[in-house]
Amino acid sequence: MKPWSAPLSSLGYGLRSAAVRRSLWVLLATGLGCLLLALIWWLPLQGEQRELARQLDTRRLAVVRAERLRLALQAQAHVLPQLTALEQKLRARAAQADLVQGIARLAARRGVRVVSQSFDEGRPQPGASTQPLYLELGLAGDYAALRRFTGDLADLPVWIEIVEERLESAGRGATLQAQLRLLTYRNLREAQP
């Protein structure tokens, strides 16, 4: 006799009794009934859980959109005054004499010496109403003064951008020589003689 056959033979012997068979059928029916009741109870809860998850996702999305809108409105409120100032700078006339005076005042205020300056008119784009005007500056001063000078170029009443900047040691202490190439725009009607 094999060792695993003993429990099976006793099970077969127990199944001969009608009471044992009825009990097993009752247990099987009770188990299936409990499983059916659990499924009946679980399925609506599963639907509710899905609906709650969908509502949470909708609310999270609404909160994220509201926060993005708040940040955009905050950024817009911060930028609008700067945009107005930028538009005024772009409309301002970039006459050479006014530009030279503004740069000379700025250099004197920052302790920078203007060594040389020259202007070069660029070619206007076809259909454009403005003409680029390049200004090449040779400056002398210490690093901190030159840095403050270049930072304060944005305070001038016309639009100026730094196209190129080179710094070289002058050999005497902390004095540096700087070569700046600046770009501004002026109205084509003003540029025409």
Q: How far apart are CA 187 and CA 124, in angstroms?
A: 10
Burial (Cβ within 10 Å: 0-12, 13-18, ≥19) of residue 59? exposed
Percent of the residues in the chain that have a pLDDT greater than 70, as a whole number = 81
Identify the band that residue 31 occupies on the pLDDT scale cut at 50, 70 and 90.
Answer: very high
Average pLDDT over residues 92-112: 81
- Give the bridge partners for 181, in sequence order: 136, 164
Angle subtended at Cα 46 by Cα 41 and Cα 50, rounded to the nearest 5 degrees: 155
Tens of pLDDT along 54-86?
999 999 999 999 999 999 999 999 888 888 877
Quote the tokens at residue 170. 């002058």
Written as six digits, the tokens of 171 are: 């050999």
Compare 40 and 130 and report the one with higher pLDDT.
Answer: 40
Residue 128 confidence (pLDDT) above 80:
no
Half-sphere exposure at residue 70, Cβ-oriented, CA atoms within 13 angstroms: 6
CB contact at 8 A, 146 and 176: yes
- Which pLDDT score is estimated for 121? 79
Q: What is the mean pLDDT of residues 178-186?
A: 84
CATH no. of 96-191: 3.30.70.60
Q: In Å, what is the CA distance from 52 to each residue of 39, 62, 72, 103?
A: 20, 15, 30, 65
Q: What does the pLDDT read at residue 24?
A: 84
Residue 193: the pLDDT is: 47
Question: Is residue 17 predicted with pLDDT exceeding 90?
Answer: no
